[in-house]
Amino acid sequence: MTSKPRPPTPGSPTAWPTSASSYGALPAARQASPGNPAAPAEPGDGRLAALSYLGVPLLGPCLPLVIYLLRKRRSGNVRRHSAQALNLSITVLLYVVCALIAALMLALDSLGVALAIVVPLVAVLWLVSLGYVIVAAASANRGGFRRIPAWLCATIVR
């Protein structure tokens, strides 16, 4: 007499079968759906995701915001990339505002000191963010995902 294998009980040392055909369908986390970032990408998604990153140094949060709003329900992959690009641009914008406040406070004493400290600081911030943008855009164009470090990109939009 043959019987169908039983799923393991909680606390049992045996694991679930790895093949999806053993019990029917794929788990819900691995099924393709529009909001699931693990779903297969649509044609052109990589270019659109890379474009959302490449718009950050030139246009700030404008281009990533437009791409995020237009594609957030249709493609999870583009939504994830455009949300990270939007988060990066907002965070860098906040850093620049803080640098301007520091420059204004330093300018109360001496304008030359304020410019000597703040201009190189903002330039380094822009170059570092540009480096991460290029790496993330190249990864998005290939269909991957490269996370930008949390010290440079705060999670504001999900």
Would you call 87 exposed, middle or buried from its count of C-beta atoms within 10 A (0-12, 13-18, 19+)? buried
Q: What angle do CA 124, 129, 133 make, to 5 degrees?
A: 150
Q: Which pLDDT score, from 0 to 100, does residue 44 have? A: 78
Q: Whole-model pTM?
A: 0.71
Write the pLDDT tens digit of every residue in 39-59: 545 777 889 999 999 999 888
Write the pLDDT tens digit of every residue in 75-114: 888 999 999 999 999 999 999 999 999 999 999 999 999 9
Q: Give the residue-averaged pLDDT of 130-145.
A: 94
Q: Which residue has the higher pLDDT, 118 or 34?
A: 118
Q: Give the domain ranges of the chain.
A: 42-141
